[in-house]
Amino acid sequence: MDDVAAATPRLVCASPAQFQGVLIEFAGRILGVLAYSAAAPADLAGFEAPYVWVRLPVLAEDACWYEVWVSSVPVTTGKKSGLSFASNGKLLFGSLVMDEADRSRIEQMAQAAYTAIFDVLDHTGYPELLRLWNYFPDINGSGCKMERYREFNVGRHNAFGSEGRPIGDGLVPAACALGTRQGPLVACFLAGRVRGVCLENPRQTTAYRYPEEYGPRSPTFSRGMLVGGVLLVSGTASIVGSRTMHPGDVLRQLDETLENLRLVISQARSGGFSGASAAGLCLNVYLRRAEDRTVVCGRIETEYAGAHVVYFQADVCRSDLLVEIEAFWMSHP
Ligand code: 3EB
């Protein structure tokens, strides 16, 4: 039973007022923390587990928001080639922050970042990548050859290839990729000793098979992942097949996004996911335009009443997408 619990990640969300209490309550069992905030969050002297600042404005009264990934059993922490990680025998959570000295090199940075991540996974004995968080500035800006998100995809794809990581069904992690205004490339990752169950969406082209018009190398992610009874849904947007639907219309994009979310959740249920109570559901909603929050929030909170929903201002990775939603759902909150 302990083994099953240790293989199940748990997410605890905290406002700045709650954060110190969470650090105390879960001391020694924290796998990692993402601190979302436009301004620098609390500096945690002596904190050993991965702790990253994700430079995105939080669209709420509290301008800062903490996602704390916790383990049911104590963790051990480590650092290697610029990465920080914490593991519990079943799961490993890591983070990597890379300054971008030369703005035209996002492709090389992505490749270096993913190579470093795979290197840590191979050396620590947690080979299975379950979930990736990618944040970097100016995602829709132009790089040296094309849009920076597309260059990022080339570097990420190449790292899979050069590190002997096949890209195929059941083999790629859940993920999100969002643009910040400034700051470094920030990547967080969750990995395991054993594979999770990869989920796809029958209504969407598998991302790693997107046609070339979306970039010379496809993004390497699955639509979701089941890990020890919890569901991690990748960033989900208004894409049907491989096409963006309803450019410019945030509410119609939202409906399309919610339909995609429903379908991934239904695939998860077919795969054995049993989450029922919205009390165990956390949704991160990324909006390109902060002012869309008011119209978007009513619809989300009707459909997922009781869920924990947070809104961020972020650039979504296709310039015609206005909204993206990711989800984490625990069966036993
Ligand atoms: C999409 O469905 C929207 O590049 O890692 C969602 C989740 C998206 C992850 C990624 C991109 C990524 O294509 C964008």
* Residues 188/190/191/192 CA torsion (nearest 10 deg): 160
Give residue 24's identity as a one-letter amino acid code: I
Determine the number of helices (DSSP H) and then strands (DSSP E) in the chain: 6, 19
Q: Which residues of the chain have pLDDT under 70?
A: 1, 333
Atom of ligand 1 nearest to the CA of 223: 7
Task: Give the per-residue pLDDT at 1.
Answer: 57
Q: Find, among 144, 46, 57, 132, the residue nearest to 92 by Cα.
A: 132
The whole-angstrom separation of Cα 121 and Cα 93 is 10
**Ligand 1 binding pocket, CB closer than 6 Å:** 134, 175-177, 207, 219, 221, 234-235, 237, 239, 317
pTM score, whole prediction: 0.97
Q: Give the mutation target among 221, 242, 257 for probing the ligand 1 site: most ligand atoms within 8 A of CB.
A: 221
Give tens-digit pLDDT for 65-78: 999 999 999 999 99
Domains of the chain: 3-330 (3.30.1330.40)
Task: Give the per-residue pLDDT at 81.
Answer: 82
Question: Within a 10 A sphere around the Cβ of 119, how many other Cβ atoms?
Answer: 15
Task: Give the per-residue pLDDT at 90.
Answer: 98
Task: Give the per-residue pLDDT at 190.
Answer: 98
